[in-house]
Structure 1
Amino acid sequence: MALVELTPGPNMGYLTIVASRWGRRAGLATVAGVTLGLTVYMLAAVAGLGAIVMRIAWLYALLQWAGVGFLLWLAFEAWRGGPAPPLGHQAEPPARGRLFTRGLIANLLNPKAAVFYVVLLPGFTNPARGDPVAQALVLGAIHVAVSITVHTAIVLAAGSMSLARWETPGFRRRLDQAVAGGLVLIALWLAWQTFQST
């Protein structure tokens, strides 16, 4: 499970961008949203809903393309930027509730989490050891805990290397553009993965 979480993906890239742009607290608020999204997918998979979504090809593809669109919207917001903070001050992050919601939506629009739970969890359950549903819930909870650990580590590392605290005139604009470019790259990567799977 740790290897799955350590594999680069949209969540990892987005969390790195948020934490490096606005700091650790903003990153941790986003981690909370991402975690809720993972939990929703895990519970849906255990209930059998994830398998249904995977069988409906157009719905699965729609979710993936919606994820690409959402990332591009976030890139547009970053590119547009806002008023520059006073010299030597870190840029004011969005409200934590907004960051939480963005993390949740970004994860829900990345249905590969559902694929993970639907495809891999059953292979780790054994009816001879008890209720498969209970086993799937325990394994899913372990995966969510591992994801929290990995995502938090990413946020703490990216937040400690944040360049935002050393802003100079014009640097804020370049940083906004870099964030937007990073989000576009993540969106293109997700679009390529979606195109390959259709």
Structure 2
Amino acid sequence: MISLQFLLTALVVVIAPGTGVIYTLAVGLGQGRRAAILAALGCTIGIVPHLLAASLGLAAILHTSAVAFQVVKFAGVGYLLYLAWQMLKSDGALSVSARANPEPSWAIARRAALINILNPKLSIFFLALLPPFLSGNAASAQFEMLVLGSVFMALTFVVFAGYGAFAAATRDHLLSKTAVLRWLNRGFAGVFAALAARLAFEKA
């Protein structure tokens, strides 16, 4: 069940930069290592509803229900555009600046969790990724999906925390460069906006 092939496949998927990685990098640069770890934790927690949906068969319903898919999708699009705006605002929660901008732990983790919760493609992704690695025993299929999903979540946390730690390590070096900070904020905002546009065109 937990084969080398599955671990390599999951690792490749997790390492590929996506919305959660971008958010974790932005938080690491803006608020340091502790905040980045909280962001990684929130992104990981945000996977849980999709894993449960895939395990319980709800992902298939989302896949076949155009209305449900569109509702969740455009909520996600709106949220990503909100994050882009927060990067551009000088006093935005995600703005990378030289001044200390600490946030409550729950706010960092909640924002990260919502990034994944409001992405309807994740449920369908798990429905496609996990079944090929099951043993074939129908009686244990649901349990096996939960186990594989848990391994995927663990890899997500470790990799995202690594990305965040790297960003935090470069924080002090970048904070003294005003022009770099300005372009970083614009760059992150542009990426969030591009991800929102890509999600808007996704189909179930």
- Pairing 1:20–2:29 present: yes
Deviations 1:21-58 (A, max 9, x none): 21111111111211111122111211111221121123
More divergent stretch after superposition (68-77 vs 149-158): 68-77
Aligned equivalent of 1:183, options 156, 172, 189: 189
Equivalent residue, structure 2, for 1:134: 143
Counterpart-to-counterpart distance in 2, 1:56 and 1:118: 15
Equivalent residue, structure 1, for 2:87: 78
Deviations 1:127-154 (A, max 9, x none): 3496111111111111111111111111
Aligned AA (1:113) = L
2:51/2:126 contact within 8 Å kept: yes
More divergent stretch after superposition (62-71 vs 101-110): 62-71
1:20/1:162 contact within 8 Å kept: yes
Deviations 1:75-124 (A, max 9, x none): 222322229xxxx9652222211111100111111222212211121221
- Pairing 1:46–2:52 present: no
Aligned equivalent of 1:7, options 13, 16, 34: 16
* Pair 165,13 (structure 1): closer, same or farther in 2 beyond 3 Å: closer
Identity of aligned residues (%): 28
The number of aligned residues is 191
Aligned AA (2:190) = V
Per-residue deviation, 1:186: 2.6
Per-residue deviation, 1:163: 4.4
Q: TM-score, normalised by structure 1?
A: 0.84
* Pair 58,184 (structure 1): closer, same or farther in 2 beyond 3 Å: farther
| Aligned partner of residue 93 in structure 1, secondary structure | coil
Instruction: List runs of 5+ in structure 1 lacking aligned partners.
Output: none
Q: TM-score, normalised by structure 2?
A: 0.81
